Structure 1
């Protein structure tokens, strides 16, 4: 805690459908000495955007909306062309925030400078945000080319997306997310910061490096930023949310098909790439949080804190270095799984792979019949003719749908009989 200066923290590490490690330290209310637990409710701020993105993909799967729908179909207040997909991937060129949030941002600045004693920082109302839309101009070109993990991040874009989806679904945004995402996943301790039951969440704090002390921060009131940053949750609930990302069973696919979850990760819809992981952080005066997971390893973690500045990179590196080797699939050294007859997919060709003297041999190209396949990695082999520059790569994979062995050879797909 001394390294990170957070009064409280809650952590859960997940493998597949299980929490394999959890810890909570410090206080969620320093003044009253209320301890942090993995069931403590924390604002998760911009991680809320992944719930809005999930709502988009659900409505797409139900054919209520299309990803290429122009947002003006649902938000005629906005005057420029932008698709729902652009809003969800931060590629519309929109600025980070609406001008209606000027007073909100200035109130944060004044509080940090010590020029304000505000007890609440209040984002623009929905009405003020919608009224600002006719005057919004794009800041960047649409689909501006950036490095893969970068984007022109827009809170405004996600607020617009959430309210557009609300109109398309004919259901209040918060009601929809609770009924179609949180409740089916059993996230019973999650909701929205402005829910009628006035949820009790962890108090936020700001660390002052000059005084080496923390000060309680004003309450965050999201208003129009609800789809961009208005969710609260717990480490235990977010563990369920991460586990859901790994599921491909009938019940999970009723919530969102696995192919749509994969599409979200591949196209950065809601999630940000940190290969081989995907992630999303949340930050606001008084809080930092992170959800981080690897679909391939079925491994992930959530970190919730109640301090303005928190560096996740060191913890991510430690967890990754410790856990990746444990859950990485071990290389299968039994060569017999590769042997058999392989048919050219969609064609008439075939080849046989067999074992002789403990090595694999292939009948593809008779001229190479006596040249063994040399291992070059997990499920990867190579045939190389000595004294020449000629080589052929043999890449074996198991088809995720049929579970049949597939061979990629000479730019063709071959299927084991």
Structure 2
């Protein structure tokens, strides 16, 4: 059986406060969030907002929304609001590959052309493992999009663009270069190996088993995003809705929508064998390669800095970050529907309040 045992209901698992937007201590009582509110001050009021979650020892000690998920309709951001995760999606794409490896359907050291034979000869040596760690050397698909591109790209369109690029930036495995196209190719490999559309594989093998009922890889014309946040960018005349770009429909590198409540379920699953085996989790969290920042390593869909595992996500109108300190049993998640600021430093500032306890 592919499906693992579902997690307990989130309210039971995390001891969440009864009031939406409240904060809960381990005893379930409302606690003071003045310091967190100060850090998140820019997100408060009639502006694009954010949802913030702090989990310590399996319990939500901060679970709160700030500002608005939809400016036009004045809808508040809440813990149930779903944001486009952008590159936070990559950890789920990597997990999908690891599940297929556990099934014996594919091997991490197989060549990607075994699954995507239309790719040019220059890509022949690239392995699935090198796609996961951004060491394949693929050409950035954003740089070779036609200047007159009018319709949104899908993962299959990314493949079409890369088929025409019989060149690499470097020999596979020799360097690191962050590659959205690599994760798009991983999504297509999931489809070829499983026989399911990528969005359906995520639903059947990850979201449903973990009770992530409102999470999905969004496809135009497919299932709607419930409690959806819309993205905005700030200009001289104020905030303008900038929810979608030409690359927003590419799923493997950034197409998942989720909420802090659903990500709490995902975070809990990463401490046990509920979804991924211990071996798979160790592979995902291993510092395989040095990134552009000498202090940061890259695993499979995760960055590793010291004792922390994290990933940010940036796309038009959205800025997100998910930071875990597994040895401390502490996680901080910030999802926001605006183009600025990048919230990684905000998450670190929030984490410091709990790391010193």
> Is the strand fraction higher in 1 or 2?
1
Question: Compared with structure 1, are the counterparts of its residues 16 and 176 closer, same or farther at alpha carbon in structure 2 (3 Å cutoff)?
Answer: farther
Contact 1:4 1:311 in 2 (8 A): no
Tell me if structure 1 keeps the 8 A contact 2:320–2:342.
no
Match of 1:402 in 2: none
Question: Secondary structure of the residue that 1:163 maps to in structure 2?
Answer: helix
Equivalent residues of 2:218, 2:255 under 8 A apart: yes
- What is the deviation of 1:313? 3.9
Give the alignment partner of residue 8 of structure 1, picking from 35, 49, 52: 49
Decide which moves more: 37-46 or 164-173.
Answer: 164-173
Alignment root-mean-square deviation, CA: 2.2
Structure 1 residues 223, 282: CA separation in 2 closer, same or farther (over 3 Å shift)?
closer
Whether 1:26 aligns to 2:26 is no
Deviations 1:341-397 (A, max 9, x none): xxxxxxxxxxxxxxxxxxxxxxxxxxxxxxxxxxxxxxxxxxxxxxxxxxxxxxxxx
Structure 1 match to 2:187: 162
TM-score norm. by structure 2 comes to 0.78
1:281 equivalent among 285, 292, 312: 312
Q: Does 2:340 align with 1:315?
A: no
Deviates more, 1:128-137 or 1:177-186: 128-137
Query: Does the alignment pair 1:260 with 2:280?
Result: yes
Instruction: Answer yes or no: is the 8 Å Cα contact 2:141–2:162 preserved in 1.
Output: no
1:196 alignment partner, one of 213, 222, 225 = 222
Bigger CA radius of gyration: 1
Report the Cα offset of residue 319 of structure 1: 2.3
Query: 1:171-227 deviations in whole A, cap 9, x for unaligned?
Result: 22111111111111110110122162222421111012x44x211114346576211
The 1:52/1:87 distance shift into structure 2, 3 A limit, reads: same
Which residue number in structure 1 is paired with residue 158 of structure 2? 129
The equivalent residue for 2:22 is none
Between the aligned partners of 1:23 and 1:282, the Cα distance in structure 2 is 20
CA-to-partner distance for each residue in 1:381-415, whole Å, 9 max, x for gaps?
A: xxxxxxxxxxxxxxxxxxxxxxxxxxxxxxxxxxx
Alignment match, 1:226: 251
Report if the CA contact (8 A) 1:245-1:295 is conserved.
Answer: no
Shift of 1:264: 0.6
Q: Mapping of 1:1-400 within 5 angstroms?
A: 3=42, 7-79=48-120, 80-81=123-124, 82-97=126-141, 101-103=145-147, 122-136=151-165, 137-145=167-175, 151-194=176-219, 196-200=222-226, 201-208=228-235, 210-211=236-237, 213-220=238-245, 225-248=250-273, 252=274, 255-266=275-286, 267=288, 268-326=299-357
Give the CA deviation at 1:265: 0.7
Cα distance in 1 for residues equivalent to 2:300 and 2:135: 10
User: 1:164–1:215: structure 2 CA closer, same or farther, 3 Å change rule?
Assistant: same
**2: CA distance, partners of 1:202 / 1:53:** 25
CA shift, 1:144, in A, is: 3.3
State the number of aligned residues: 299
Contact 1:193 1:222 in 2 (8 A): no
Whether contact under 8 Å (1:16, 1:243) holds in the other structure is no
Q: Equivalents in 2 of 1:4, 1:308: separation in Å? A: 12
Report the alpha carbon displacement of residue 98 of structure 1 after superposing the two structures with TM.
Answer: 5.2
